[in-house]
Amino acid sequence: MSFPFVGQRGGRSPVVPLTGSAHAGLLKEIEAAGVGSFWATNADGQLIYLSEKAKESLGSDGEKLIGMELTSVFKECSLKDDGDTQRSLAFKMRTQAKITDQIVEISPGEDAASLRWWQISARPYFDKKGAFCGYRGISADITSEFRHQQNVARQSQYDELTGLANRRRLQQRLTSTLNAFKTAGRSCALMMLDLDRFKQVNDTMGHPAGDELLKQVAERLCALIKDSGEVGRLGGDEFQILLPDLDDRGELSELAKRIIQMLSQPYSLNGRRAIIGASVGIAIAPYDGIEADELVGAVDLALYAAKAGGRGTYCFYRSELRDNASHAATIEEDLRDALEKGQLEINYQPLVDPSDNGVKSFEALMRWEHPEKGRISPEVFIPVAEQTDLIIRLGDWALRQACMDAVEWPGEICVAVNVSAKQFMNADFTRQVAASLKSSGLAPSRLELEITESVFVGNVEAVDKTFAALKKMGVRLAMDDFGTGYSSLGYLKRAPFNKIKIDQSFVRGCTESGDTNPAIISAIVALAKALDMETVAEGVEAMDELKLVKERGADLIQGYIYSKPLTQEELLQRFAESKLTFTPDGPPRYRADRISVFRKIGLIHEDHYYDVMLRNLSPTGARIEGLADVPVGTQVVLDLGSGQLVVSKVVHTNENSQGLEFETKLISDGFGGLMTRHRVSPYALAEAGMPLAALGSGSYPLAQQWSGGEKGPPKFVQLALS
């Protein structure tokens, strides 16, 4: 069917509405028969005709659409979540293609109620000379049907409780995003987070309170992420965040910290107060996974590691985590045996008054000497124990043993024992404390329980009840690692603490130029004094650190500057010799934390690839062994594995060891290690001929280009690595 036009072809066609009573009458009869309503454009794509039924569908505002560009009137839309597979309406009009059953959205008015959806079809119209004159189309108002389908689609794609994307939608979005990004060579980060202590809220305050808590968590996450990604709920207390085009691990670290901090603020649930926390796992495509299932598996392992690390923290995926998962199961079995067979012992580190270097108390620190594997660090076995009720058994044993040991010390010296959140919340905890004091004969005033801020997560009433019982018992209480977890000044007001321990993260680097930690230390000390509490500066190792924390008013000092942890036998020997003071001894100045390591890595110089041994690592440099004849000032690239290349300069050298300074600082991986912000992209490797795959744990995949072919003589001597 065609419609007459007024105006000539050439230049931009004038916007002149169609007229003609005969044609209008015919159209009314066709519309009345239910065929549909009609519209037309000119050659420039402007809407020049809407039939009466079309205007009626759009209401009183339909008339004002005449003369507007069709593509600005008809907005494309789809019920599909992975994008419309149809060619765009603008593309079809540019190519003068046929339009068939395309769904469009029309908003003739200002209010949402005027929004309509049409299904349109149209053909291009040509005059007798073959000149294109515009489109002639038919439309059907499908608003009611479309809204119904939207509701159905939403119910299948969104979580009913929080309104966030559900597991199905998240999987679809992740799959479609990764597939599209492979072609474009783009990256995508995936975060998975789990709420700490949510079960306690659900169990003690009821499921309605738990549901309300989940809604508030969803609101906080959406407010933080905004339009930079999509937040979804996987189910229970697990959430997932999809972040397209983000692979900077520094930015992701900051985002993870903000998420943890925001979710750790108090919640009001039906007039009651609750506090939870969050653990976050992070994986990035294409580095950690190419396909959706691969990336989800990686982020799940990262989340497990974050939870194992004590909760309230984040962890990036690394390939070693797959081995660590099975290693953790072995550690748990061996730890149970260690408890039964008496392989564990307690060492004690002094807390010293810097005014006279006299010891005031000792902190009990757990040690494990495995009969086959040797010394196993608490950083390894404590997180494993935290994942089970084994931490309660370990805590009970440590409490009993520390009380028994402290009875043999001079009467004025106290013992401080760490208490995990799970142990603290155990219904038998206060009875266990009372039993340990009674069986050992230790005065309650000589026992100090060190408690982290994580105990405040969950049932606030139960926490207050436990604090009241402990205070009545007469034991002392200290807040450990203050400022690093779910910090709130309200904790100090509500809980009867005698002491605040300033976490070592505020002490390390406090003497560096421009560092803000001295101000934080001063603020914590002032706060403690106002609340009549003592302060302890943890982790002091250098003389300049000691000087600063003394000047800032810390009451007690703990760290290697005074002593490493000592065995009970060593302590008793000191007491027998009346050695109740510790002389500070350490390097004159703080040096950036260096992680002691012993692993083989690669070093690239010009056209050669060398094997070296990494001995220690800090954010700004490293020490390596395995090369000789390396001049100071040489530029090299360290290959730390998993696509991590670090441009470095040799700043000091000796016979077989070199000190390197990094061009760009390394950052924390959230789990006690260091990493580069960026890695070699698998897309770049694919362009160089490698198969597209996630990065493995080995050296730079193109390292072979340094090991063969034409190249000059090596500048350095490769030594045998032991």
Is 403's pLDDT higher than 90? yes
491-496: Cβ within 8 A, 24+ apart: 491/453, 491/456, 492/527, 492/531, 492/533, 493/531, 494/464, 494/467, 495/456, 495/463, 495/467, 496/467, 496/471
Q: Is the pLDDT of residue 690 over 90?
A: no
Q: What Å distances lie between residue 68 and 42, 44, 220, 564, CA to CA?
A: 11, 10, 41, 79
Number of other CB atoms surrounding residue 443 within 10 Å: 14
Length of the chain (residues): 722
Is 430:444 a contact under the CB 8 Å cutoff? Answer: no
pLDDT in tens, 194-213: 998 888 888 788 889 999 99
> For residue 697, what pLDDT is reported?
80
Mean pLDDT over residues 701-721, rounded?
73
What ranges do the domains of the chain cover?
21-142, 158-318, 344-576, 595-718
Query: Cα 699 vs. chain centroid, distance in angstroms?
Result: 26
- Domain spanning 344-576, CATH class: alpha beta
Q: Can you name the residues that pair with 534 across neighbouring β-strands? A: 499
Predicted local confidence at residue 439, as pLDDT: 95
For 45, list phi and psi in degrees, rounded to 5: 80, 15
Provide the 8-state DSSP code for 414.
E
pTM above the 0.95 mark?
no
Output the six-digit token pair for 21: 């009573």
Instruction: Specify the pairing of strand 674-675 against strand 667-668.
Output: antiparallel
pLDDT for the residue numbered 708? 53
Instruction: State what percent of residues in the chain have pLDDT above 70.
Output: 86
pLDDT (tens digit, 9 = 90+) per residue, 474-519? 999 998 877 655 445 666 766 788 999 988 878 877 877 777 888 8
Q: What are the angstrom distances between the C-alpha of 538 and each of 490, 556, 564?
A: 23, 9, 12
- Third-level CATH fold of 595-718: Thrombin, subunit H (2.40.10)
| pLDDT tens column, 427-467 | 899 999 999 999 999 999 999 999 887 777 656 777 888 99
Architecture of domain 158-318: 2-Layer Sandwich (3.30)
pLDDT, tens digit (0-9, with 9 covering 90-100), for 610-668 = 999 998 899 999 999 999 989 999 999 999 988 999 999 999 998 889 999 999 999 98
Tell me what pLDDT residue 46 has.
92
State residue 33's pLDDT score. Answer: 58
- State residue 477's pLDDT score: 94
Across the chain, which distance is largest between two alpha carbons, in Å? 119
Q: Are 288 and 642 in contact (CB under 8 A)?
A: no
Q: Which fold has domain 21-142?
A: Beta-Lactamase (3.30.450)
Residue-averaged pLDDT of the chain: 85
Average pLDDT over residues 166-179: 92
